[in-house]
Amino acid sequence: MLTASGDVSDRVEGLEIGADDYLPKPFAFSELTARVRALGRRTSVPLPPVLERAGIKLDPNRREVFRDGREIQLAPKEFAVLEVLLRSEGAVVSAEQLLEKAWDENTDPFTNVVRVTVMTLRRKLGEPAVIVTVPGSGYRI
């Protein structure tokens, strides 16, 4: 952040809401360029963790899914639904939440696309079934 607010409370608040750095005015241009170079030297963005549950291993970075060591090819929406379910760590995820997280805002909320995608995903993941339907609530792994 580059700002005229230089109080300690302003700097702390800026850093807490997500700023990587905070430089109050007035500042020396050489300090600004040094800070930009320092930020550029940071290591690469950390990779998202590999998600594992019930014999399923999902690597979001490589876009790979394995079930008991066997690679499974998934369509992009199937991958997205599986990732949301695995990230929920066993909690129930409603069809509405899946629509919100795996599809865009233009998707018809009354469509059966979630049910069809979950059905296809179950088939591809094989037996024993790992996606459980919680009647009236949603799905969980």
Model pTM score: 0.66
Task: List the structure tokens of 120.
Answer: 């296809």
Give the mean model confidence (pLDDT) for residues 87-100: 94
What is the CATH code for 51-140? 1.10.10.10
> Euclidean distance between the first and final Cα of the chain, in Å?
41
> Could you read off the pLDDT of 44-71 as tens digits, one per residue?
666 678 999 999 999 998 999 999 999 9
Distance CA(78)–CA(27), nearest Å, equals 50
Domain boundaries, the chain: 2-40, 51-140
pLDDT tens profile 125-135? 999 999 999 99
Give SS3 for 90: coil
Neighbours of 38 (CB within 10 A): 11
Counting Cβ atoms within 10 Å, is residue 105 exposed (0-12), middle (13-18) or buried (19+)? exposed
